[in-house]
Amino acid sequence: MLSKRPSLLGLKSASLAACAFLAGAGLAAAQPLPAPGQGAGSGPDLVSLLHLRPDQVAAFHALEAAGRPPPAERARLQAKAQQMPTATTPERLAFQEEVMTMQVDAFHHVAEAERRFYALLSPEQKHSFDQLTAPHPQQGPPPR
The answer as to whether 138 is a domain residue is no
The answer as to whether 143 is a domain residue is no
pLDDT for 137 = 79
Q: What's the alpha-carbon Rg for the chain, to the nearest Å?
A: 17
Residue-averaged pLDDT of the chain: 75
The answer as to whether 5 is a domain residue is no
Average pLDDT over residues 10-29: 41
Reported as a single tens digit per residue, the pLDDT across 102-115 is 999 999 999 999 99
The pLDDT-based confidence of 141 (bands split at 50, 70, 90) is low
Reported as a single tens digit per residue, the pLDDT across 59-104 is 999 999 998 888 998 898 888 899 999 999 999 999 999 999 999 9
On the question of pLDDT at 15 being above 60, the answer is no
The answer as to whether 61 is a domain residue is yes
The answer as to whether 139 is a domain residue is no
Of 113, 120, 1, nearest to 65 by C-alpha is 113
**Residue range(s) defining the domain that contains residue 61:** 10-133
- Overall number of domains in the chain: 1
The answer as to whether 14 is a domain residue is yes
100-114: buried (b, 16+ CB within 10 Å) or exposed (e) per residue?
A: eebbeebeeebeebb
State the pTM of this model: 0.62
The answer as to whether 101 is a domain residue is yes
